[in-house]
Amino acid sequence: MSTATRTAGPETSLEDELAAREDRARAMGGPAKLQRRAEAGLLNARERVDRLIEPGSFREVGLLGVSGPVEADRANTPADGKVTGYGVMDGRRIAVVSNDFTVKGASSSSTNMRKIGHVKRVATERGMPIVFFGESSGARMPDNMGARGMGTMLGNDPTQYIRDRRTPWASAVLGQCFGSSAWYSCLSDFTVMRKGAVLAVASHGLASLAIGQKVEPEDLGGWKLHSEKTGLVDRVVETDEEAVETIRTFLSYMPAHCNEAPPVTEAPDEGSEEMNAARDRLEKLVPENRRQGYDMIKVVEALADPGSYFEFKPRFGRVATTGLARMGGRSVGFVANNPMFKAGALDVDACEKITRFLVMCDSFNIPIIMLVDTPGFVIGVEGERRKAPGKIMNFMSALQLCSVPKLSVILRKSYGQAYLNMGGGRNSDEVAAWPTAEVSFMDPAYSVDVVTWGRDVSDAERERIRAQMQQDSDVYGLAEINAVQAVLRPRDTRAYLLEMLDIHSARLSGGVGQHRMATWPTTY
């Protein structure tokens, strides 16, 4: 009903009351708190949502929600500290949860967790990505204390932390992220963290009390810890605005849900000067000397559509690089050894990093390209203490469960079990190699030390053994038994990959895989 046709009376007062309640909810924690955030260069909960989605597209859920258990809190908990709803981003519907730290530190209560559960359920069942803007002090006290508090809050939703990967999840750690705010970050497919934010089980104050010594927030859960040591964070940024743009970039590679193929963008002109220069550059990027390091990321960038490589966890497990890119406008996932670090030998961190990336790609129908140049797995006491054999088998299991197209290119060396983990031995749909490739159980130079261990052997005998071990390890030995399906000149690699991606398109299922790892743990 338009304003001009309204009549005085009860209807007008009801509308006025509704408008007043809506205004109070949207005012969040009040002008003073919002002003302090603005002065600190931080976006508030609603600004984060507005920056993510198209103007005017937000349909909020639970705007009028307030804290339930403590009656005195109902007047000062607008939207109960969490902004939830649906919007449109790049023409697609998405669900959003944005923590409002100006309202009781965005602490979790029965009402606001019910709001999150609602939009999470709708997004999962209706095929929409979910974005979590994390900033929360954890569980609200005293709401969660006692048997009734626990039964109402923590015992209310048995599906609260189930992750079945029907839709992509993305999280931003933008302040204190304790309790459920930390949990959703760990459950997400992609997590970006702003410098200065903290991700932990509980606050540094509580941790200090628990262990009896002072704990600094950065040491407990700062960006360096999670980007370099734990691997829980995929990218690190300086500002809230950059975090929002990073999530938009991630989602641009992803389908809206698991039952559709990823989006397609315009393909570059393969005959352009830029693409020709990239092809010419490839051979120069990789030294023929297998002991000489180089940056594999430059190789990936030369193969992918220009400017499209979006790396995951660049500070963690650096002996490997993983990330999304486009090939001919289509989303692909790159998994590559990086000889710039430890000669490309795979360690525990790299195994975890690659495994998680493979699970995500397979869950959302993204083909995988593996670029191989590794002497094998890092051997030593530290790796064994960190369950290296188990991590290697997790990696192997994930690769073999992948139902999306898998293409592997051996650039130089591929030794031992790592040959299988990096797609060799029919663990890829197609295996190609450059003329510089060498495959064997181990580096022939080291094999001499193994077979002569504890014996006094002459130089001539060592050389004879080395030559014997070197025999048939070059690429043509592989090609002759069809262990590689093609030997490529480096400049032809992109054209080969584009053709193979087309040949191995999942035509029978419309580009959709089998998702055999949909419930794989997000971390382990």
Q: What is the model's pLDDT at position 150?
A: 64
SS3 assignment, position 355: helix
Beta bridge partners of 410: 372, 433
When mean pLDDT is compared over 13-22, 212-221, 435-444, 453-462, the highest value belongs to 13-22
Provide the percentage of residues in the chain whose pLDDT is more than 70: 89
Q: What is the model's pLDDT at position 346?
A: 96
Average pLDDT over residues 201-210: 70
SS3 assignment, position 99: strand
Measured distance CA(495)–CA(327) in Å, rounded: 10
Residue 6: pLDDT over 50: no
Residue 145: pLDDT over 70: no
Do domains 3-253 and 273-437+474-509 share one topology? The answer is: yes
Q: What is the model's pLDDT at position 95?
A: 98
SS3 assignment, position 351: helix
* 510 vs 463 pLDDT, higher one: 510
pLDDT band at 73 (very low <50, low <70, confident <90, very high): confident
At a CB cut-off of 8 Å and minimum separation 6, what does 466 contact? 444, 445, 447, 448
Integer CA distances (angstroms), 351 to 242, 367, 408, 511, in order: 29, 19, 17, 27
Q: For residue 55, what are its two tokens?
A: 């103007």
* 161 vs 517 pLDDT, higher one: 517
pLDDT in tens, 439-478: 986 566 555 555 555 677 677 766 776 666 666 678 898 8
Quote the Cα angle for 309-315-320, to 5°: 65
pLDDT band at 3 (very low <50, low <70, confident <90, very high): very low
Question: Where do the domains of the chain lie?
Answer: 3-253, 273-437+474-509, 442-473
Q: For residue 35, what are its two tokens?
A: 């002003």
Topology classification of domain 273-437+474-509: 2-enoyl-CoA Hydratase; Chain A, domain 1 (3.90.226)
Integer CA distances (angstroms), 296 to 262, 269, 278, 479, in order: 25, 24, 14, 24
Per the prediction, the chain carries an average pLDDT of 90
Integer CA distances (angstroms), 224 to 8, 182, 242, 381, in order: 61, 16, 18, 25
Q: For residue 186, what are its two tokens?
A: 């760990």
Measured distance CA(373)–CA(356) in Å, rounded: 20
- Listed residue (355, 285, 368) closest to 317, CA to CA: 355
At a CB cut-off of 8 Å and minimum separation 6, what does 445 contact? 466
Are the C-beta atoms of residues 103 and 80 closer than 8 Å to each other?
Answer: yes
Alpha helix (H) residue ranges in 27-141: 31-39, 45-52, 110-126
Residue 218: pLDDT over 50: yes
* 12 vs 289 pLDDT, higher one: 289
Average pLDDT over residues 70-85: 89
Measured distance CA(431)–CA(369) in Å, rounded: 10
Lowest mean pLDDT among 106-115, 134-143, 313-322, 409-418: 134-143
Measured distance CA(459)–CA(29) in Å, rounded: 79
Quote the Cα angle for 295-485-375, to 5°: 35
Does domain 3-253 fall under CATH 3.90.226.10? My reply is yes
Q: For residue 308, what are its two tokens?
A: 């499209």
pLDDT band at 5 (very low <50, low <70, confident <90, very high): very low
What's the burial of 354, exposed, middle or buried (CB within 10 Å: 0-12/13-18/19+)? Answer: buried
- Listed residue (337, 492, 341, 359) closest to 415, CA to CA: 337
Are the C-beta atoms of residues 408 and 431 closer than 8 Å to each other?
Answer: yes
pLDDT in tens, 231-279: 999 999 999 999 999 999 999 999 999 999 999 999 999 999 999 999 9
